[in-house]
Amino acid sequence: MLQIQENVSLKNFNTFGVDVNASFFAEINHENELVELFMDPQWQQTERLILGGGSNLLLVNNFEGLVIRVNIRGIEHRINKNEVFIEAGAGEVWNDLVNFCVARNYAGLENMSLIPGSVGAAPIQNIGAYGVELKDVFYSCKAFEIATGQFKTFTKEECKFGYRESVFKDELKGQYIIVSVKLQLSLTPSLNLSYGAIGQELADRHITQPTIKDVSQVVSHIRVAKLPDPSTIGNAGSFFKNPVITAGEFKPIEAKFPDIVHYHAGEGYVKLAAGWLIEQCGWKGKVVGHTGTWKNQALVLVNHGGATGEEVYNFSSQIIDSVYSKFGVTLQREVNIIG
């Protein structure tokens, strides 16, 4: 039976560890509970926040609405010759799914080891790390349409995935709740070792013929060294996206800053390393009030304890301003700002 709690603290439901309250809070363990919930027209009219692991959002104020925490579980897998189809409930922990697959030698997720959060949130920003994005293994997802109470299956094309982008963050924002995700993996791995640090770490370990388990371990090792663990220091990973600019815009910047870290991003486009831009502005490891940037990764904003969402938000605006003044590039927040 679906329960709706009132005045619930969200401190343990967001990895920034920001202490705000939600007016109403419902935990969904089965997709039918969404149908039940929205049969009551009251909830159609109420402001809503769909919540997974809370690892990609910043809560700026108390949430005067209904938080819907998706906790739908279950993993099913089906093998068809060399292909493996995995269907997982949106409330499964992403890294548990990765471990499930790596343990069975189902290849495709190993580079995305240790990304926090839920399976259901993975398509929202097309999560990615170390040369692989969700879209590379995505088959489809099933979602509940709030306005109609119907379930719809989205194909990969319909999701319109891009770098940290999907249809769910853009034109369909707030309209659907993802209840399950289906991935297409393989029994014959073609490893992606393109990210420099992976090759280096494998060489350091004298691994010449890596397995998917090796890649998963190496990626996890690199991540732990670089990123703060939210269970000890609040954060939501990269706070900004790496900016993508045109080759024309890049030229004068490169002329002024020949060391600028950048990558080819398709014909006529260049991606800049936001962490580098922020570091060059002198922000790396800086503590400002209760917040600051991480000492090993300037792109990660942290809560040193007791920071409010507003404090973190204002600090992020300061960073945007200083990067713009120095480089003429506007950083976009990657983290979802709530309230």
Binding site for ligand EPU (CB under 6 A): 129-130, 226, 237-238, 241-242, 261, 273, 275-276, 279, 284, 297-299, 334
The listed partner (ligand FAD, ligand EPU, none) that binds 38, CB under 5 to 8 Å by sort, is: none
- The residue among 177 and 319 lying less far from ligand FAD, judged by its C-beta, is 177
What is the β-pairing status of strands 57-59 and 21-28? Answer: unpaired
The listed partner (ligand FAD, ligand EPU, none) that binds 262, CB under 5 to 8 Å by sort, is: none
- The residue among 39 and 225 lying less far from ligand EPU, judged by its C-beta, is 225
> Which member of 86, 227, 260, 302 binds ligand FAD (CB under 6 A)?
227
Least Å distance between CB 249 and ligand FAD?
A: 25
Least Å distance between CB 62 and ligand EPU?
A: 25
What is the SS3 assignment for 80?
A: strand
- The residue among 97 and 202 lying less far from ligand FAD, judged by its C-beta, is 97
What angle, rounded to 10 degrees, do the helices at 212-226 and 94-103 form? 150
Kindly identify the residues of this chain, within the stretch 181-200, that bind ligand FAD according to CB under 6 A.
Answer: none
Least Å distance between CB 59 and ligand EPU?
A: 17
As given in the structure block, the two tokens for residue 232 are 């000890």
The listed partner (ligand EPU, ligand FAD, none) that binds 298, CB under 5 to 8 Å by sort, is: ligand EPU
Q: What are the b/e assignments for 107-130, b being 16+ CB within 10 Å?
A: bbbbbbbbbbbbbbbbbbbbbbbb
Residue numbers annotated as active site: 164, 238, 334
Give yes or no for residue 129 binding ligand FAD (CB under 6 A).
yes
Give yes or no for residue 280 binding ligand FAD (CB under 6 A).
no
With contact defined as beta carbons under 8 Å apart, do 293 and 241 qualify?
no
What is the SS3 assignment for 18?
A: coil
Give the C-alpha separation, 141 to 157, whole Å.
Answer: 11
Q: Cα-atom radius of gyration of the chain, to the nearest Å?
A: 21
With contact defined as beta carbons under 8 Å apart, do 236 and 316 qualify?
no
Give yes or no for residue 28 binding ligand FAD (CB under 6 A).
no
What is the SS3 assignment for 254?
A: helix
CA 1 to chain centre: 31
Give yes or no for residue 90 binding ligand FAD (CB under 6 A).
yes
> Which member of 18, 38, 54, 109 binds ligand FAD (CB under 6 A)?
54
The listed partner (ligand EPU, ligand FAD, none) that binds 121, CB under 5 to 8 Å by sort, is: ligand FAD
Residue carrying the six token digits 């605006």: 317
Give the C-alpha separation, 61 to 66, whole Å.
Answer: 14
Least Å distance between CB 59 and ligand FAD?
A: 10
Give yes or no for residue 301 binding ligand FAD (CB under 6 A).
no
Least Å distance between CB 132 and ligand FAD?
A: 10
- The residue among 185 and 299 lying less far from ligand EPU, judged by its C-beta, is 299
> Which member of 10, 24, 53, 97 binds ligand FAD (CB under 6 A)?
53
User: Which of 324, 250, 248 has its CA nearest to residue 280?
Assistant: 324
Least Å distance between CB 114 and ligand FAD?
A: 8
In DSSP terms, which residues pair with 318 in a beta bridge?
none
Count of CB atoms within 10 A of residue 103's CB?
11
Give yes or no for residue 121 binding ligand FAD (CB under 6 A).
yes
Number of residues that bind ligand FAD (CB under 6 A): 32
7 φ/ψ angles, rounded to the nearest 5 degrees:
55, 65
Give the C-alpha separation, 248 to 223, whole Å.
Answer: 33
* 339 residue type, one letter: G
Give yes or no for residue 309 binding ligand FAD (CB under 6 A).
no
